[in-house]
Every structure is written in C-alpha cells, then in structure tokens.
Amino acid sequence: MSVLIDGRSLWLAETNCFVIAEDSGGPCVVVDAPADLEGIAALLAAHDLYPEALLVTHAHIDHAGGAAAVADRWTVKAYLHPDDDWLAADPLAQLRSLFGGLIPEWLDGSFEPPASWEALADGAVLNLAGVGFEVLHTPGHTPGHCCFYVESEGILFSGDQLFAGSIGRTDLPGGDYGQLMRSMVTRVMTLDDATAVLPGHGPTTTISRERLTNPFLTDL
C-alpha cells in the first residue's frame, strides 16, 4: 500500500504538522496540531481530506496548542500519552515560561486542551483512516513523548525525539537526557536503516543518515 503524506511548518516554532491518508478526497490522520487552525485547514483542503483522528507526539504547546481547535472543528478524538497529561493541562503556563512570565498581547488565540484525550499506550497499533500507526513511547524530551511508526510505509513520525542532525532538547520541565538516549537505543535506532524520519521540526531524514552523521548518535 502507498499512502498520501504531506506536511507544513506552522505557528511560531515552525512545527511540522503532517496529514496521512490512503488517498486524496477521504479521511486522514493529523499528526501534531500547532496553534494554527487555518494552516491545518489549508493543508487538509489541499488534498480534499477530513480528519478521522489527531495523534499528538507530546504536550508541548507548539505541538498540542491547536489540539482542542482541531478536535472541535472536525469532531475527532485527540490522542496523547497520559504521562504528558500534566503538561497538557496548563498550556498557558508553558507560554509564560517561554515569555518570562507574561504572555504577549499579540499572541492571541485559545490554547485550552481538548475536553478529553484518548490515551496512547506503548506498542499499540492504531488503525486509523486505513493506515496502521504503531505507538512507540519514547520518554526523554517529555515523559509522555511518543513516536508513530507506519511499518507498511517505512516511516517514523519522530516528533521532538530525533531531528536531522540533532535530538530533542531535555532542559525543559520533565526532560531527561539519559532517558531520551535510552529511548533512542531501544525504540528508535532499532528500526530499519531505510526508515524515513519525519520530525516535528526541520527537514526529513533517515535512520541510516542519522546513525552515520548525527553527532549525538555516532557513539551508540
């Protein structure tokens, strides 16, 4: 099976939002929801898609700030690992920490979380919009961070676990460098070298390229 995958960088942090579908003109899955509802809507409209579910890699506001808006507009379930519930519960606190305790007036919009989350569980395979997503719990960037692996396509949606040439930062609340690297060894670098990596920020890469050139991984 070959699926349609497209993505755009949205909101202030240039967060990658992806849509995955069997084909245009039908249901899809959205991976991550920056607080840019119209940007997400434009991405969907470009392929005449409508969401069946929203998968959120972790609860940082640049990935989950638009989750409630997406869930409400298209009446879909939003999925998050419960170890990130504490982060998701107070998005405004995240904003205050980013802007020195104050939220700039120009940063308008609602960042409230969805009324409820569907819980992600490590190893679960979610069959959504005709595509199977394996949940890989990869704590370290946040306690509940998850990657989503589409084995049929050889694709990993890595969130803020792994980037082209870098890894997720661990200096924010709940971050743990040692845990992130354990997740890398046991859950990510065990994937086939040809696996395409679609990260939460920046360009796509492959497991092979990162194994050979990523300065954080060359000693693994």
DSSP string, 74-123: HT-EEEE-GGGHHHHT-HHHHHHHHTTT---TT--S--PPPS--EEP-TT
pLDDT, tens digit (0-9, with 9 covering 90-100), for 3-27? 999 999 998 889 999 999 999 999 9
Residue 129 has pLDDT above 90, yes or no: yes
* Sequence-ordered list of residues with C-beta below 8 angstroms from that of 107, at least 6 positions apart, any chain: 12, 95, 99
Using the 8-state DSSP alphabet, how is residue 61 labeled? H
Q: Go through 2-30 and write b for each residue having 16 or more CB atoms within 10 A of its CB, e for each that does not.
A: ebbbbbbbbbebebbbbbbbeeeeebbbb
Please, are residues 107 and 91 in contact by the beta-carbon 8 Å criterion?
Answer: no
CA pair distance 52, 212, nearest whole angstrom: 37
pLDDT, tens digit (0-9, with 9 covering 90-100), for 53-66? 999 999 999 999 99
| Domain boundary assignment for the chain | 4-213
Q: Specify the CATH class of 4-213 in words.
A: alpha beta
CA pair distance 55, 126, nearest whole angstrom: 10
Band (138; pLDDT cuts 50, 70, 90): very high
The full length of the chain comes to 220
Tokens at 177, concatenated:
């460098």
Least confident of 18-32, 92-106, 141-155, 174-188: 92-106
